[in-house]
Amino acid sequence: ESADVVIIGAGPAGLVLGNILLRHGVDCVVLERADREGVENRARAGFLVPNTVRILERNGLDGGVRRGGREHGVCEFRTETGRFRLDYRRLGTGEPHTVYPQHELVADLMARFLDGGGTIRFGTEAAAVADADGPAPSVTVRDADGRPGRWRARYVAACDGRHGAGRRSLPPGTVRHHRDHGVSWLGLLAEAPPSLDAVGYAVHPRGFAGHMARSADITRYYLQCDRDTPADAWSEDLIWDELDLRMRASAYGPLVRGRIVQRSVVALESDVLEPLRHGSLFLAGDAAALLSPSAAKGANLAVLEAELLARALVDALVHGDPEGIDRYSERCLAHIWRAQEFSHWMIRLLHERADPGDAGLFRERLRHVRLASLRDSASRQDWFAEQYVGI
Ligand code: FAS
């Protein structure tokens, strides 16, 4: 089988890319290993930066966000020296986040692509991309019944995450910058309304705790945990007691409890591949770079890269202009590294390092000063707000 562009992966990256290509009449197909329900029910991100909403809007993909998205513009830090709030909607560029669960956005994008005549082959796992260094790459696949197949293409877009076929098919010599932040989070999804009207960041001697609204009745919590903690290690009561303790509920009010409907332990790691183009193969989203959820950038970068790649492929295929594909990697990497820098800064701001000895103590004191300058300095707060909603 064949298509001008074969997209591997029906996540935010693959579906934004597919919708824009379809809109410009480019022949494309999306190969997705999960079934439709599996993709639509995978709860993940939820904070969209303003640029993401603008990208969705100018490509006619913002219907769901407009109907269901909610503005969010305050974050609250709770530390040993008290709490402070940053109304980041009135700082820096003066823009809020839009809270809209990623799986709802993916469902919108999928429906739009299929309604527009797009093709998604569900249950189709890409095994490898071959001949990417020439003008006729191909993707070997296995369908839901395990039957082998091959898709021929002019270009292949690997939007299949950090463990996908795209990364497996990269030529030797691809650089992978990797950082293990030495911190793990127990990520929780609770059937409970948000307990704060803000994104909550609790810095506590027992470890970090985070609170992020997902909808009016679903809230995402994070609890820093040891690296090898099994996701089911703690009972629900223990989880809520620990969240209350670290978020200092005794001082600032109890958290609204509810059933925990999803839990996973995520090791905070980051990586960036360079370059993001290899001949006729392009990487976008988590396949290109993995960001820790600390600054809520991953899904937003995926959307940005998808639009950049879509425009480049339309220019190349429809207008015969290769400039966009030639510059795709350098343009994306500039955004990726800026997002990585801020995500890394957030990790060091919110987490004690378990380093023993005076190196750890020295780092601890620096962390307290960073928190204090964020509390006290208007220019620091403007910088924070600009980075926080920037992409
Ligand atoms: P995705 O992983 O979303 O999609 C890849 C798709 O490819 C999947 O559907 C997969 O099934 C498919 N696939 C993989 N291999 C394949 C193969 N070989 N063949 C065919 N299909 C294949 N980001 C934020 O911005 N904010 C957050 O708050 C946030 N929280 C997160 C919480 C958790 C627990 C996790 C795990 C991630 C979080 N992220 C967050 C990051 C996350 O949202 C990603 O950045 C985002 O999903 C990236 O989108 P894609 O690159 O499209 O990859």
Q: How do beta strands 259-274 and 175-191 pair?
A: antiparallel
The residues facing 176 across adjacent strands are 273
pLDDT in tens, 126-142: 999 999 999 999 999 99
pLDDT of residue 50: 97
Share of the chain above pLDDT 90, in %: 89
Decide if pLDDT at 220 tops 70: yes
pLDDT band at 316 (very low <50, low <70, confident <90, very high): very high
CA angle 361, 363, 366 (to 5 degrees): 115
Catalytic residues: 72, 201, 293, 297, 388
pLDDT of residue 358: 67
- Which tops the pLDDT comparison, 17 or 216? 17
Name the token pair of 94: 């003066």
Ligand 1 centroid from CA 21, angstroms: 20
Residues with CB under 6 A from ligand 1: 8-14, 31-34, 39, 44-47, 102, 125-126, 159-161, 164-165, 187, 264, 266, 285-287, 293, 296-300, 302
At residue 177, what is the residue type? H
- Which tops the pLDDT comparison, 359 or 1? 1
pLDDT of residue 355: 59
Decide if pLDDT at 312 tops 80: yes
| Alpha-carbon dihedral 218, 224, 227, 231, rounded to 10 degrees | -30
Q: Annotate 235-259 with DSSP letters as a single string.
A: -HHHHHHHHHHHTTHHHH------E
What gap in Å lies between CA 12 and CA 198, rounded to an integer? 25
Name the token pair of 353: 């390092």
Ligand 1 centroid from CA 286, angstroms: 6
Decide if pLDDT at 26 tops 90: yes
pLDDT band at 247 (very low <50, low <70, confident <90, very high): very high
Residue partners of 38: CB distance under 8 A and separation at least 6:
none
Decide if pLDDT at 147 tops 60: yes
pLDDT (mean) for 295-320: 97
Distance of CA 14 to the CA centre of its chain: 13
Q: Are 209 and 247 in contact (CB under 8 A)?
A: yes
pLDDT of residue 295: 85
What gap in Å lies between CA 99 and CA 89, rounded to an integer? 13
Going by the DSSP 8-state scheme, the letter that residue 73 receives in this structure is -
pLDDT of residue 11: 98
pLDDT of residue 148: 96
pLDDT of residue 356: 58
At residue 327, what is the residue type? R
Q: ipTM > 0.85?
A: yes
Q: Are 308 and 334 in contact (CB under 8 A)?
A: no
Task: Name the average pLDDT for the chain.
Answer: 95
Residue partners of 144: CB distance under 8 A and separation at least 6:
35, 122, 123, 124
pLDDT in tens, 84-110: 999 999 999 999 999 999 999 999 999
CA angle 268, 269, 272 (to 5 degrees): 150
What would you report as the CA-atom Rg of the chain, rounded to the nearest whole angstrom? 21
